[in-house]
Amino acid sequence: MKISELLTENLVKVDLESLEKEEVFEELIDLLVREKRITDRDAARRAIIERENKQSTGIGRGVAIPHGKCATLTQLTGALGISKGGIEYDSLDGEPVHLVFLLLAEEDNPGPHVEALAQISSLFRIPGFIERLIAADTPRQLCDIVAAEESQEE
């Protein structure tokens, strides 16, 4: 699975407005609703909050990967947001988050969810990758950065 196949420009927001993580979840869920990737906003929100309450998905280095499983989904979906100023997130390293990759997966098929998390983690380990994403000015630039890195890994 390629993350670039999961994201479209309409599922990327390079100027998140919210400063609180739950509000950021709403902004990203709005993108998914608008693009008809999800139909049950409340179920999506509950799935993300439920997982977040178990342990923060702020993994450090300015990155968070909130994720959850939702019974109303039939395939993996996601949205990506950038906050230049940073979001208070209760990250593992205590630092603000600048990049939020929200993932929602179907409940009965964990394979694509786990594969996507592994692929995202792999991309984030590439030196300079996170910084290039945060510096992107447009959704197109961000999508191009992801696609370029994935093509180099092939």
Does 136 score more than 70 pLDDT? yes
154 pLDDT band, cuts 50/70/90, is low
Q: CA 112, CA 121: separation in Å to the nearest integer?
A: 14
Q: Identify the structural domains of the chain with CATH numbers, from first to last.
A: 3-153 (3.40.930.10)
Look at the pTM and tell me if it is higher than 0.85. yes
pLDDT score for 137: 95
pLDDT score for 130: 94
20 pLDDT band, cuts 50/70/90, is very high
Residues 22-55: tens digit of each pLDDT: 999 999 999 999 999 999 999 999 999 999 999 9
Residues 97-128: tens digit of each pLDDT: 999 999 999 988 878 888 998 899 899 999 99
Distances (CA, A) of 12 to 38, 42, 110: 15, 21, 24
Distances (CA, A) of 90 to 72, 128, 146, 147: 29, 23, 26, 30
pLDDT score for 113: 87
Q: CA 29, CA 35: separation in Å to the nearest integer?
A: 10
